[in-house]
Structure 1
């Protein structure tokens, strides 16, 4: 039996328990035995991590260097790593090694014009398109899907070039924005790190977004692709 690890916690609005549990039935049907941790300290347990085939991370917290080293070592040795939204792109703010591992870091989610904001979380929920790249149109994770729209946070990311971008999203420039031309950020990508595979999906603010049929299926596909092959 394969082993999957849910590492989850942090900001309640991101529903880390609900979103990870959304994938439990699928993973169990694919033959995974699932363990759960509410702390990234589990990554420092080298013996346990060597037995894990797939990490599903949805946590916003800090991380100590021993745990970062354990995570990067496990992935480099073949453990798959996947996650979405703030659960992978917001936490661990002091760790350069972690962000080198995943290749991108959240910096903003520009929202509605100031005059339309009410002070609630949905001030940053805007309608935007997820555009599949040419690579994404033929990749096994995203092949067959058409561009689609979401109303949720749209992540502006700082990234490197060592990734296979399967889909992007474009931050438009409108009156009042300090940036004067559109900004394209990766929305879905994969990455090879040593023997391990990494899959990241920036959409996934809460269960409603993760439950979108296309997002759900792409994350399922990403989990199978990333999982260690024994």
Structure 2
């Protein structure tokens, strides 16, 4: 079996349980032939040799600060062919850094207070994509992310925000009814190519229960493999 290299980079806000969340997927990566190296410091992004050797970077780092040098190292590696993947705030709520957000193709802006019941829906036009094949809709009770995204993303699945007084669904930060005049559908799972590299993002994964839900776990595992060009 060909050995591939994966870097797991985790840290930042503890509320997204970066250690426990990434530990869910490390055995899977090893079973699929990856040599996994774990980093609790963003300094690895400035190590050009290590980044060049990586087939995949799995990042779970929320509400942190990345330096220009660190962001440039990560971006250069992805543009040269390293895969980049993550979920929830660990990837789209990680850093307020323009070049990094351009790499991920999206940024978290808002979620309704608390955990809300909603559905993740795979787009019928993308039903044959290897990341979401066999998945239709997934019932969730967790944070629902409102994100700004790049139109060039390949959106695989979406969530919908409803207007009006539906309890706990799409209220504003002050608890008022959502101001949208009609339902708003936003990307929730997407892939993109950046230079020679692949990027996978899922907005689902605030808590371990989300990531262990069978269809979400499957989508996430497949996303890691897709970013590493293994499917």
Q: Using structure 1 for the length normalisation, give the TM-score.
A: 0.91
- 2:170 is matched with none
> What is the alpha-carbon distance in structure 1 between the residues aligned to residue 88 and residue 223 of structure 2?
14
Tell me whether 1:68 sits opposite 2:58 in the alignment.
Answer: no
Name the SS of the counterpart of 2:191 in structure 1: strand
Three-state SS of the structure 1 residue aligned to 2:204 is coil
Tell me which residue corresponds to 1:158: 148
Contact 2:109 2:146 in 1 (8 A): yes
CA distance in structure 2 between the aligned counterparts of 1:97 and 1:88, rounded to whole angstroms: 13
State the distance in 2 between where 1:177 and 1:221 align: 34
The answer to whether the Cα contact below 8 Å between 2:162 and 2:178 also exists between their aligned partners in 1 is: no
The TM-score with structure 2 as length reference comes to 0.90
Counterpart in the other structure of 1:212: 213
State the partner residue of 1:55: 57
Q: How does 1:1-230 map to 2 (within 5 A)?
A: 1-60=3-62, 61-93=64-96, 95-111=97-113, 124-175=114-165, 176-228=177-229
Report how far residue 77 of structure 1 moved. 0.6
How far apart are the structure 1 equivalents of 2:131 and 2:142?
Answer: 22
Stretches (4+) displaced over 3 A? none
Whole-Å separation in 2 of the counterparts to 1:54 and 1:173: 39
Shift of 1:228: 4.9
Partner-residue secondary structure (3-state), 2:71? helix
1:135 Cα shift? Answer: 3.3
Gaps of 5+ in 2: 166-176
RMSD: 1.1
Question: C-alpha separation between the residues in 2 aligned to 1:135 and 1:9?
Answer: 36
Q: Which runs of 5+ in 1 are unaligned?
A: 112-123
Cα separation, 2, equivalents of 1:196 and 1:181: 37
8 Å CA contact 1:78–1:228 kept in 2: the answer is no
- Determine the structure 1 residue equivalent to 2:168: none
For the 8 Å contact 1:141–1:222, the answer to whether it is kept is yes
Q: Give the C-alpha shift of residue 26 in structure 1.
A: 0.9
What SS does structure 1 have at the residue aligned with 2:91?
A: helix
